[in-house]
Structures are given as C-alpha cells and as structure tokens.
Amino acid sequence: MKKIINAPEDFVDEFVEGILLAHPDLVRTPGDDLRVMVRADAPLAGKVGIVTGGGSGHLPLFKGYVGAGLCSGVAIGNVFSSPSSDQILQATKAVDGGAGVLYLYGNYGGDVFNFDLACDLAELEGIPTATVLGRDDVASQPRERKHDRRGVAGILFAYKAAGAAAERGDSLEQVVAVTEDVVEHTATIGIGLAPTIMPTTGKPSFELPDGEMEIGIGIHGEPGSRRGPLETADEIADHLTSALVDDLGLGEGSRVAVLVNGLGATPLEELYVLYRRTHRFLADRGIEIVKKYVGEYATSLEMAGASISLLELDDARLELLEAPARSPFFREG
C-alpha cells in the first residue's frame, strides 16, 4: 500500500511536529522531546492535570484530545507501542498545577507498566497521581471480567468527563470518581473489514479474507469474538448495538450518548448508514439518544471498519459531556 511518508522511522516525530505547527494556539511541547505535548496554557494553577498516552496510529485518539476541557498532556509512543515512563513523567511535571495529576489511558499491558512506573517517579517529585483505565471493549472480556477489558473509542467520554471536572475545580479524588463512573457506564464494540498496513514494515497488522468481517476486533488488530461473511449495514448495526444494550442493561426510559466511530478507512457516508440503524434500534426500545457523535474519534491508521459506543447517561454525566471543550480535533460546547 502506498503511504505519504518520508523515512518510516521519522513518521511519528513528523506528524507530531505537524500538529504542533498547525495548532500553536492549542498545544505545545514543554521541552525538546516531540513525544510530549501539553495544552498551550498548561499548567493551570490549582487544577487537576490529566495526562493520557499510548501508541501512535490512532489519531485523533490520545494526541488529538489535548486541550481545554479535555486532557492536559500526552505522552506519545511509536506506532502501536507505549510511550516511555520518562516521557509520561515529563508530561506530568508540565501539567502539574499543584492539585495532582490523573493518568487516563487505555488498558494495555505496556501502557500500564510504563504509567505505573511514571507514577512512582512522580511521587519522588512530590506530585500526587491517580489512575483510571479506559476499558470499554465488550468483545475483549465478558461483563464479569470488565476490569480486564481493552480501552477503545469510548474513552472519549472519559476524557470529556475528566476534563470538565478538572476545569470546574474538582479535587483529584473527585475527578477520579466522576471519570470512573463514566467508564463503568460505557461500552464499545467494533467490526473490522480490512487491516492496517504498518508504516515501518509495509505489512498488514492481521489477515482477513475477502468477503469476511471480524466482529469485536481490537484497534491493533487483536482478534474479535467471531469471523464470518460480510453482513449488511443494518445487520451489523443490530448486532453491535444489541451487544451494547445487553451489556449495559439498558431498557425503556434509559438515556444514552452514541458514538459511531470510523477506524481510518471507512467513508463517513457509511458511518451515517450505521448511525441511522443504531438510532432506530435504540428508539424502537424506548432508549433516548441525548448526545450523538459520528466520525473518526479513534482510528487504526487505515483499517477499514467501525465501532459503536454507548454511554448510559444521568444528569451528572450529561452535564460533564455538555461542558465546553476544545482541542485540535474536538469542538463542542
């Protein structure tokens, strides 16, 4: 597959530099390391900082959600690889406003290891930290093992909640509580149609025969719950949405936010076809859709496919979602 890149080993630094040059009013690097980016006005005195991070290849995930009402900083790894503990510590120190720092990222082994190490290093610097893991992928583990689930596109809702709570001046303990509450009420499931091609090797991240789809695929190409012949858009939407409704225990009178997310190579038109059926599926069951998001929010380079996320809403969660936020890839409020 053809790609618009220079040297593969320079890919990450060059796209990060592009973000910094395109959005200097929103983000900056606090030092010489392009793998650390913070909001332009960081640190905010007396407010909780929020640091995220993870592998590259998922824009706008991680890097794209640094800004007002969202994350304060990000540590950036190579494609599908964790950032280092030193980069996470740099971001932590750059966003620390004296109220502590929340680590908010997806539940993946390498990220957990390096963020935990950064937590120990931050403690030596006198910076209190706490951790909340995005773990919304219902296909990765059953409900009784939900704390072991992968974090995927639904972490957007956690970013909004944490960012809004920090902006209004909540303590670190309070920010953790509202973010955990949103994570607990979020569920996501995706479908893969074609793999991504790794820029460093030029090889696909997984193999999927023509005419087949994989339900529950992860954003790195991790195996899903099943493979089978490609279904219609309505059949796909019904299967995905039904799994989310069952997992969250939703019923008549429930309120939700819906996120229909493209994985990188799916046309926006197809995402709206999925949203159309998802909307009708929920409405037929008396489930009210209060917030709607359709587009690319967490990708896997040029993987073909999509995911659907639901967040069960109450008044407190809705208030957090509706708070103003602005970053290079998010405009709302």
- Residue 220 annotated as catalytic: yes
**Which DSSP string do the residues of 43-89 spell out, in sequence order?**
--TTS-EEEEEEEESSTTTTGGGBSBTSBSEEEEEEETSPPPHHHHH
Q: Dihedral of CA 150/326/94/179: which sign?
A: negative
Confidence check: pLDDT of 179 > 70: yes
For 4, 121, 273, 286, 317, the CA distances from 282, given in Å and listed in that order, are 40, 46, 15, 7, 19
**List 58, 147, 185, 239, catalytic entry:** 58
Nearest Cα neighbor of 301 from 189, 154, 211, 200 is: 200
DSSP assignment letter at 183? H
Query: Rounded distance, CA 196 to CA 270, Å?
Result: 18
200-215 pLDDT, tens digit per residue, is: 888 888 888 889 999 9
Nearest Cα neighbor of 276 from 232, 246, 230, 233 is: 233
Go through the chain and tell me how many residues it has.
Answer: 333
Give the CATH superfamily of 8-185. Answer: Dihydroxyacetone kinase; domain 1 (3.40.50.10440)
Range 282-289 average pLDDT: 98
Confidence check: pLDDT of 221 > 90: no
Do 8-185 and 186-322 agree at the fold level?
A: no
Q: What is the pLDDT of residue 72?
A: 98
Which two tokens mark 311? 């967040």
- Residue 23 annotated as catalytic: no
CATH topology of domain 186-322: Hypothetical Protein Tm841; Chain: A;domain 3 (3.30.1180)
108-132 pLDDT, tens digit per residue, is: 999 999 999 999 999 999 999 999 9
Q: C-alpha angle 149/84/177, rounded to 5°?
A: 45
Report the 10 Å Cβ neighbour count for 179.
29
Q: What is the pLDDT of residue 260?
A: 98
Q: What is the pLDDT of residue 201?
A: 82
Query: Rounded distance, CA 97 to CA 119, Å?
Result: 16
Query: Rounded distance, CA 187 to CA 248, Å?
Result: 7
- All residues at 6 or more sequence positions from 234 whose CB lies less than 8 Å from its CB, including other chains: 277
**List 23, 185, 220, 279, catalytic entry:** 220
Confidence check: pLDDT of 138 > 80: yes
Range 220-234 average pLDDT: 92
Domain definitions of the chain by residue range: 8-185, 186-322
Q: What is the pLDDT of residue 1?
A: 73
